[in-house]
Structure 1
Amino acid sequence: MNWQSVSFDWNQARAFLVTAEEGSLSAAARALGLTQPTLGRQVSALEEALGVTLFERIGRSLSLTPAGLELLDHVKSMGEAANRISLAASGQSQEIDGTVCISASDTASAYLLPPILKRLRESAPGINVEIVATNAVSDLQLREADIAIRHVRPEQPDLTARLVRETAAHFYASKAYLDRKGRPQSAEGLSSHEFIAFDRPDRFLQHFTETGLPLQERNFKLATASGLVGWEMARNDFGIIVMIKEIAEQFPEMEQVLPSFEPFVVPFWLATHRELHTSRRIRIVFDLLADALSGKQLIS
């Protein structure tokens, strides 16, 4: 068949292409963020428009028919062209100069990003950076940011994600607070202390009770959704707080509480949209962040 003479819907062609690449309708549906019935209808509509069978089922997998194999090369070329058009339309070309938006928690934005961005300014001064300092998860698919630094694994199928580091978080308090209230020598000793929560006390308490800590809501005298505010309150002697060690160690007035207690593991994930990851500008920033965050020290 002369495929060039046939006109068909790109959504149908894309459904066919991803199904061929993934090997099943269910996997292709996840990759495209569609329901399996919707994807199946698009593939069937393409087969009907062309008057051929593109797949045959083998067990739970799909195999391309000879007609499907012949069509695949043409559709791959269409997909590559569509990606180039999308990148050009969104301004994400291979030019280095331009703006990159980074989303990170408020504490990471304030205490971890500055030395990293200094390196970026030295190596790529034409890149401008916009920082979205938020403890909510920015939606990269809606372009709320180009790159996100997250502490939970990204699950969206259209994202490229990399676990670059796992670090430790501990209990910290100001030396002045501990001089006043005493330094606990065991987990049981924490029950007489005041804590700062990053969420509603009842929700935050659950994380601690699951680790066997003898705390109650009365221990949480202060709560805030802002990591920066909570940290400043701890520095001003309001109580004990959880913080990653790379940030806490920047403040000599803060002291680790109960060093023998098992640390909390905090992962650092870097995520970007697959489409944006092909941009040279995004790639430069992504790789610099990955290199800096994966080092033995987050702070140079």
Structure 2
Amino acid sequence: MHIRMDWRAVKFDWNKARAFLVTAEEGSLSAAARALGMAQPTLGRQVDGLEQELGIVLFERVGRGLTLTPSGMELLEHVREMGKAAGRVSLTAMGQSQALEGTISISASETYAAVLLPPIVAKLRIEEPGIHVEIVVANHASDLLRREADIAIRNFRPTEPDLIAKKIGMADAVLYAAPNYVARLGHPQTPYDLRHADFVNMDRSGMMLKALNGLGLGLTEANFPLLTENYIVMWELVKQGAAIGILDAQIGDADPDVVRVLPDLEPLKFPIWLVAHRELTTSRRIRRVYDFLIEELKRT
């Protein structure tokens, strides 16, 4: 099926096109709304508005998700190219800005956004009051090429050639539990002592189970009766004595409500990278914040 229309007669709205693009890539309105940080009804109205303006049906409902119609599939390729072009225009404009005043968006996971970033941002605001900071909380990797954020704190090195990254260092991930839960386990001394312990699972892929078993714990899926992809929820479950959780040692050791489980167990190690788009480094504002974050993150 080929879409034929007079594009000169179409009143084009990029916001609606972006809503369609993200919905198509995420597979549902709810997921797209979370990715864009907007209300689902608002997103739905934008998609509906695009369908009405173009006079075509873009999606069909399949269960709780959405699938593209043939017209939607054809339009998607055009809108995806428009998105890339819009991103390049925005990046170029930002890269050529030499003003320090303005807004910077920083993407980080829930724990880093809630614990590590606030004191750093507070210090930045004192030194650079003209810079406004937007903190994008996302456990997934924000798409810097689409300007979901200007700078991102990640636990992996990016592979995209248009991104630059600075490795801040390595962090330790350690097992924690509430003191009363450790007591109920009989104060375990060896990995074998955790064979009947409960853990809070943070992913559906089994990576956490595999990683912990790599440390010699010998766990099974039965050891993970709790699941959440939200780090703040996981930590509250741990502090309430529901199960064992794993977290960056710098954050966990600072919380008086928990203790390390098997303190002598080798920690899981993961890198911390600071990432930005290559063109953004030509902006004084982006460069100032990028360098500031490097300095402060290394210090902490």
Q: Does residue 236 in structure 1 map to residue 237 in structure 2?
A: no
Shift, 1:163, TM fit: 0.2
Q: Does residue 253 in structure 1 map to residue 260 in structure 2?
A: no
Unaligned runs of 5+ in 1: 1-84
Shift, 1:211, TM fit: 3.2
Q: Find 2:227's aligned residue among 207, 223, 227.
A: 223
Q: Find 1:147's aligned residue among 148, 151, 154.
A: 151
The correspondence of residues 86-97 of structure 1 with structure 2, limited to 5 A, is 89-90=93-94, 93-97=97-101
* Identical residues among aligned pairs (%): 45
Q: Does residue 131 in structure 1 map to residue 135 in structure 2?
A: yes
Distance 1:158 1:128 in 2: 25
Q: TM-score w.r.t. structure 2 length?
A: 0.67
Q: Does residue 173 in structure 1 map to residue 169 in structure 2?
A: no
The correspondence of residues 1-300 of structure 1 with structure 2, limited to 5 A, is 89-90=93-94, 93-200=97-204, 202-295=206-299, 298=300
Q: TM-score w.r.t. structure 1 length?
A: 0.67
Deviations 1:124-179 (A, max 9, x none): 01111111111101111111110000001111101110001112111000112112
Distance 2:116 2:96 in 1: 26
Larger radius of gyration: 1
Give 3-state SS (helix, strand or coil) of 2:195's partner: helix
Shift, 1:210, TM fit: 3.0
Once superposed, what is the RMSD of the aligned Cα atoms?
Answer: 1.7
Q: Does structure 1 retain, via aligned residues, the 8 Å contact 2:95–2:283? A: no
Distance 1:201 1:155 in 2: 22
Residue 182 and residue 158 in structure 1: after superposition, are their counterparts in 2 closer, same or farther (change >3 A)? same
- Count matched residues: 212
Distance 2:238 2:298 in 1: 28
Shift, 1:207, TM fit: 2.0
Give 3-state SS (helix, strand or coil) of 1:294's partner: helix
The aligned counterpart of 2:79 is: none
Q: Does structure 2 retain, via aligned residues, the 8 Å contact 1:141–1:273? A: yes
Give 3-state SS (helix, strand or coil) of 1:112's partner: helix
Distance 1:209 1:134 in 2: 27
Q: Does structure 2 retain, via aligned residues, the 8 Å contact 1:201–1:220? A: no
Shift, 1:253, TM fit: 1.3
Residue 126 and residue 185 in structure 1: after superposition, are their counterparts in 2 closer, same or farther (change >3 A)? same
Give 3-state SS (helix, strand or coil) of 1:184's partner: coil
Q: Does structure 2 retain, via aligned residues, the 8 Å contact 1:201–1:217? A: no
